[in-house]
Structure formats: C-alpha cells, structure tokens
C-alpha cells in the first residue's frame, strides 16, 4: 500500500512520524520517515542581478535614446514646445521632427531579435550554467522529453526557464523607450513565430512582469533591485516559464 503526503517546507531534512487517521490512533500503526532536503541553490538570484543591471544600463543607453526619440510622444512634445518657443523666423526655418514608429521599430528589432545584444538567452545559457539545475521537459521542437542542464534556474519552490529574464527586460525597456503594451506584445508574438528554437512556447506574462516593474520604478529603473524581480516572478501566474522545482539531480548544488 502506498501513502501520499503533502510535505511542509519546515519538515525538510527532519524525521517525522506518520500516523493514519484512525478513531484511536496508536504507535503500533505509525511509521517513521525522513523527509529529504533539497540542496539546490537559488541560482536565479544571480540571473536576476544580471538582468537588473541590463535593464538599468540599457534604458540609459544611446540606442535607447534614439528609439525613444522616434517612439515616445513625450519626446515629441518636448521638441514641439522647443519649436514653439522660437521666434517666427526660427519656426519657418525648421519643423519639429514628428514621431516615427517605423524607424523606432527598426532600431528596436535590431536590438531584441534572436542573437542580438538584447537577446539574453545565449548569455544566460552559457555564462550562468553553473547556477542552473537539471530538468527534464517536453520539447515542442523535437516532440520528445529533453534533459535541460543550463536552461532552468531555481528560486524558492520554482524553476524558471531562461527566456523569462530577457522577456522581463523586453517589457521594461520597451515601455521605457515609448512603445505601448500592445505594440510590444504584438512584436513578441511575431518574434516567437520566427524563433521556434526554444523548448517552450512564448509566455506573454513574462513581458507583463516587465510592464508592472516599469510602472513601479520608472523610465530608468534607478531603484529597481534583483529582489524586486524575483518577488514579481514568485507571484506571477506563468504557464510555461515557471515550473515547480523537482530534485532531478542533486549534483547541481
């Protein structure tokens, strides 16, 4: 006969006594068992710190300024007000350059597309593999179960797929440079159709974490911390990028 138990976190590494529910429970029908303790590190902390630094650096970068120049209505208003403050001759000699979403999207795509500077997946896979955990998942590409050794990073009770970090960056920086949520989500869907190399489907909730953090911490993310990113991940209802942690291989510690 098998017995399934819901193990509480505080039981980890301890010996407990299991007794069936009887009208008169006795020690003679009890059993002692040791609850295994997970020794995997919370490697996602390291990745969160990296993506925090990337968000802060890239929102203030020259290329972000160029994208913002064309995408942001706020930036256009500044140009228009400056133009209005000129004398008549100054206004006749030049006009304020209008928004140009086409130019903005071209510059943005050059940054975020597969294997471009703001696609962090290859960097996380290669540079943070010592903090990753081993996990078996079904691949939508190969149509079979695959063992991933450098794609998932643990935090608390969950493992996070490596694309979640770049998607958070995408959402945050995208709003920072002046795009709307709808524009960013449409662009993310298109990129996922073209880049079908990953093992999981695109989870737009990842981008929305970036949105919510942007609304809280603003254009240049001065007060954003890695812990803020981890806290947002913990409460986010992610369907694909967040998996309940399982100790497949205790050698990854």
Q: What is the pLDDT of residues 105-162, one digit of tens each?
A: 999 999 999 999 999 999 999 999 999 999 998 888 889 999 999 999 999 999 999 9
Residues 60-69 have a mean pLDDT of 97
Distance CA 205, CA 212 (A): 10
pLDDT above 50 (res 193): no
Q: Which two tokens stand for residue 135?
A: 């996990």
Per DSSP, the three-state class of 139 is strand
Euclidean distance between CA atoms 34 and 27, whole angstroms: 17
Query: What does the block give as tokens for 139?
Result: 């691949």
DSSP of 39-84: ----THHHHHHHHHHHHHHHHTSHHHHHHHHHH-HHHHHHHHHHHH
Q: Tell whether the model's pLDDT for residue 15 goes beyond 70.
A: no
DSSP H helical ranges for the chain: 44-59, 62-71, 73-84, 88-93, 101-112, 121-127, 163-176, 181-194, 204-217, 226-235
Q: Cα separation of 47 and 63, whole Å?
A: 23
Residues 172/214, Cβ–Cβ less than 8 Å: yes
- Per-residue pLDDT for 190 more than 70? no
54 pLDDT more than 70: yes
Segment 76-88, tens digit of pLDDT: 788 878 777 888 8
143: left (phi over 0), alpha (psi -120 to 50) or beta: left
Q: What percent of the chain has pLDDT over 70?
A: 77
What is the sign of the dihedral through the CA atoms of 203, 60, 124 and 12?
negative
CB 187 within 8 A of CB 173: no
Give the whole-number percent of the chain exceeding pLDDT 90: 58
Asked whether 147 and 251 are in contact (CB, 8 A), the reply is no
Q: How many CB atoms lie within 10 A of CB 89?
A: 7
- Across the range 208-236, mean pLDDT stands at 98
Which band of pLDDT confidence, cut at 50, 70 and 90, is reported for residue 198? very low
Quick one: pLDDT at residue 197? 45
pLDDT for position 130: 96
Nearest Cα residue to 55 out of 174, 157, 212: 174
Least confident range of 4-13, 36-45, 205-214, 233-242: 4-13
Domain boundaries, given as residue ranges, for the chain: 1-37, 44-71+99-244
For the cut 70, the answer to whether the pLDDT of residue 34 exceeds it is no
State pLDDT tens for residues 85-107: 888 887 778 888 888 999 999 99
């Amino acid at each position: 006969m098998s017995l399934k138990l819901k193990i509480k976190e505080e039981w980890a590494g301890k010996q407990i006594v299991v007794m069936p529910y009887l009208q008169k429970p006795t020690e003679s029908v009890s059993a002692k068992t040791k609850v295994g303790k997970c020794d995997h590190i919370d490697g996602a902390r390291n990745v969160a710190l990296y993506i925090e630094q990337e968000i802060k650096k890239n929102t203030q970068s020259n290329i972000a300024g160029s994208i913002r120049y064309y995408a942001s209505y706020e930036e256009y208003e500044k140009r228009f007000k400056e133009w209005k403050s000129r004398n008549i001759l100054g206004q006749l000699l030049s006009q304020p350059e209008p928004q140009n979403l086409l130019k903005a999207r071209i510059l943005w795509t050059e940054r975020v597309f597969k294997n471009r500077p703001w696609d962090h997946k290859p960097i996380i896979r290669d540079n943070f593999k010592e903090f990753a955990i081993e996990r078996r998942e079904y691949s939508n590409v190969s149509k079979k179960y695959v063992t991933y050794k450098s794609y998932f990073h643990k935090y608390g009770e969950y493992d996070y797929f490596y694309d979640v970090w770049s998607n958070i960056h995408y959402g945050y920086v995208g709003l920072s440079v002046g795009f709307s949520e709808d524009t960013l989500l449409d662009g993310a869907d298109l990129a996922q159709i073209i880049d079908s190399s990953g093992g999981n489907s695109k989870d737009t909730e990842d981008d929305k974490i970036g949105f919510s953090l942007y609304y809280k911490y603003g254009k240049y993310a001065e007060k954003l911390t890695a812990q803020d990113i981890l806290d947002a991940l913990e409460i986010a209802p992610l369907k694909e990028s967040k998996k309940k942690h399982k100790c497949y291989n205790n050698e990854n510690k």
